[in-house]
Amino acid sequence: MSVAVSAPTWTSAAEHALDADSLRQLLDNRIGAIRIAGFATPAECRDFAQAARRGRVKHYSVGRKIGYIGMAQYEYRWNRPKADFFADVPAARADLQVVFDASFDPVQRLIDRLQAVWPHPVGVAREALGEYFAGIVRFAGEGVDLHADWAPLNAPGYDVGQIDGQLGWNFFAEELASGGDTTVHNAPWDPPVAPGEIPQSYGLDRDVVAGAPSLRYRPTAGDVVLFNSRNPHEVAGGTAVGDGSRISIGSFVGRMPGGRLVLWS
């Protein structure tokens, strides 16, 4: 059974500034993106990128090389008890804290910026088994294939599966000399799903976005960009200068029943 989805609804395929109205519209898939310009200073970006390079970097088992620090619920969605995810959170959080201690905490800063404009509580997701992990550092200079993120289908056994709107956000500490742009396609992911099935959401067929409006944004160092992650999205590869890379940190933001916003990765 698939989750019902309305037709694509963008009224503006452009970037907007953050306020309560734009945040609500983005959760409802009415606008293309929100950019928080100047989220961090050049010095903070430099310190974060340097700390990330020194961190415990692992790699995803996908075609294009993507390094990361932290953990993703994605890795636990098939044939893994939910308890395994929560048992691994403390170690992943410790790896991330090493980076924060040498720079700053973009996750808490993002929570504070959202809370300043949102009328309901904002914080890291939590359920009976514990607090979720939020904030994956990524090195994605080679790009990221077309995929979508939508917890009601990706994580149906988790409390975040109750959300009615989902965003992805990324803070960019370092950008490439060229390329590395993200393209968001306004074609909300709604695959046919058999009972008990968790569909594959990475490496989607191009047919799912054929003819859909799209927004392409540049990952500018120091900025945060948020978009509706149910829309399939992809990152182009690019060219670095020296040992530079596309270094970012981000998570999901979901709207729970009642309006509370929760973060997880």
Lowest-confidence segment of 107-121, 137-151, 184-198, 248-262 by average pLDDT: 137-151
Mean pLDDT to the nearest integer, 9-33: 96
Residue-wise burial string across 29-66, b where 16 or more C-beta atoms lie within 10 A, e elsewhere: bebbbbbbeebbeeebbebbbbbbbebeeeebeeeeeb
- Cβ count within 10 A of residue 74: 16
| Closest to 134 (Cα-Cα) out of 3, 1, 262 | 262
Please provide residue 156's backbone torsions phi and psi, each rounded to the nearest 5 degrees.
-65, -25
Q: Higher pLDDT residue, 217 or 240?
A: 217
Residues 43, 146: Cα–Cα separation, whole Å: 32
160 band by pLDDT with thresholds 50, 70 and 90: very high
7 band by pLDDT with thresholds 50, 70 and 90: low
1 band by pLDDT with thresholds 50, 70 and 90: very low
Angle between helices 42-54 and 82-101 (to 10 degrees): 120
How do the domains of the chain map onto residue ranges? 12-264
Confidence at residue 84, expressed as pLDDT on a 0 to 100 scale: 96
Residues 207, 205: Cα–Cα separation, whole Å: 5
242 band by pLDDT with thresholds 50, 70 and 90: low
CB 55 within 8 A of CB 249: no
Q: Is the pLDDT of residue 140 over 80?
A: no
Give the pLDDT confidence of 36-53 residue by residue, as tens digits.
999 999 999 999 999 999
Q: Is 162 exposed, middle or buried (0-12, 13-18, 19+ CB in 10 A)?
A: middle
Confidence at residue 17, expressed as pLDDT on a 0 to 100 scale: 98
CB 136 within 8 A of CB 71: yes
Q: Is the pLDDT of residue 5 over 50?
A: no
> Bridge-partner residues for 163, per DSSP?
none
Q: Is the pLDDT of residue 157 over 80?
A: yes
CATH number assigned to the domain covering 12-264: 2.60.120.620
Mean pLDDT to the nearest integer, 90-99: 98
Q: What percent of the chain has pLDDT over 90?
A: 70
Confidence at residue 4, expressed as pLDDT on a 0 to 100 scale: 40
> Pairing relation of β-strands 58-59 and 31-36?
unpaired
| Closest to 182 (Cα-Cα) out of 152, 147, 153, 135 | 147
Mean pLDDT to the nearest integer, 53-79: 82
CB 187 within 8 A of CB 212: yes
Residues 6+ apart with CB under 8 A from 242: none
